Chain A
Amino acid sequence: DIQMTQSPSSLSASVGDRVTITCRASESIRDYLNWYQQKSGKAPKLLIYAASSLQSGVPSRFSGSGSGTDFTLTINSLQPEDFATYYCQQSYITPPWTFGQGTKVEIK
C-alpha cells in the first residue's frame, strides 16, 4: 500500500494568514492526489483533485500543487470557516485508496 504522510499534524493560525500543509507519498503517485476538508462532526468535503484542480464551488483561496511524491495545500488569507482538519488522499495505485493522517488547523 502507498503510505501518505502529512505535516504538520496540527497548526495554529490567525484569520488572514497564509497556511501551507504538506503531504508526502511513499512512492510516486504522479498527480493522483486529492485534498479534503473535514469540519468537526461533519463528512469530508472534496477541495482539490488531481493535485491542483479546484473542485466546483470551492473558494479560490484554496490551491494545490506538486507531483510525484511531494504535494502542498495552500490556503491564502485564512477565513474563520477554514478551521478544520485537512486530509490528502492518493488514487494512483488502488486498491486501497489511502489517506494521510490529517492536519488540524486551529485558531491562534
Chain B
Amino acid sequence: QITLKESGPTLVKPTQTLTLTCTFSGFSHSTSGVAVGWIRQPPGKALEWLAIVYWDDDKRYSPSLKSRLTITKDTSKNQVVLTMTNMDPVDTGTYYCTHSIHNLKIDAFDIWGQGTMVTVSS
C-alpha cells in the first residue's frame, strides 16, 4: 500500500522560506517511471502543479514559480523535500505530495498525501 505524508510549518511569515517534507512508503523512488511531486490548492480554488522529481533525479518545475522552488529527493530516507522562497500571502493553501507514474500507458498523479495547510501571514 502506497502512502505519502506531508510535514512542515503551518504558519510562515511573508518573505520567509517554506520547507515541506514528503515521507512515503510502499514504493521505491528508484523504480523506472515513478515520480514524487507537489501540488497546491488555495482555499476554495483549483489545483496548481508545482514541482516533480523522477526516479532518475530529473526535476521539473512550474515555469511561473521556477525561480522560487527547489525539489530534492533522499531515496535512502524515502523522502522528498520542497523549498519555496520568498513566501507571500497568495501562497496560502493546502500543499499535497503526490506519487505519479509516467509511461506509455499512464501519466497521472495516482496517489496523494492528505495535504498540509500552510498559511502565510505576519
> By CB atoms of chain B within 10 A, which of A1, A45, A49, A101 has the most?
A49
Partner of A43, one of B48, B108, B114: B114
- Tell me the smallest distance from the CB of B117 to a CB of chain A, in Å: 10
With contact pairs A43-B113, A44-B47 given, residues A95 and B107 touching in the complex (Cβ less than 8 Å) = no
Look across to chain B and name the residue whose beta carbon is closest to the beta carbon of A87: B47
Q: Is the CB of A99 within 8 A of B49?
A: yes
Beta-carbon contact of B46 and A87 below 8 Å: yes
B21-53 Cβ-contact flags toward A at 8 Å (1 or 0): 000000000000000000000000011110010
Q: CA–CA, A44 to B113, complex, Å?
A: 9
> Chain A: which residue is nearest B50 at the CB level?
A96
Assembled-state Cα–Cα distance A94/B49 (Å): 10
Whether the pair A98, B63 counts as a contact (CB closer than 8 A) is no
Closest partner residue, chain B, to A97 (CB atom): B49
Contacts of B62 in A (CB 8 A): 95-96
Say if the beta carbon of B106 comes within 8 Å of chain A: yes
Contacts of A97 in B (CB 8 A): 49, 109
Q: How far is the CA of A100 from the CA of B48 in the complex (A)?
A: 10
Contact A95 B61 (CB under 8 A): yes
Contacts of B110 in A (CB 8 A): 46, 49, 55
Cβ of B63 and Cβ of A94 under 8 Å apart?
Answer: no
Q: Is the CB of B61 within 8 A of A100?
A: no
Question: Judging by beta carbons under 8 Å apart, are A91 and B108 in contact?
Answer: yes
Does B77 count as interface, using CB distance less than 8 angstroms? no
Q: List, in ascending order, chain A residues with CB within 8 A of B114's CB.
A: 42-43
Cα-based distance from A89 to B110 in the complex (angstroms): 12
Interface 0/1 of A19-51, CB less than 8 Å to B: 000000000000010101000001111100110
A53 interface contact, C-beta 8 A: yes
Contacts of B113 in A (CB 8 A): 43
Interface residues of B (CB under 8 A from A): 46-49, 52, 60-64, 96, 102, 105-115
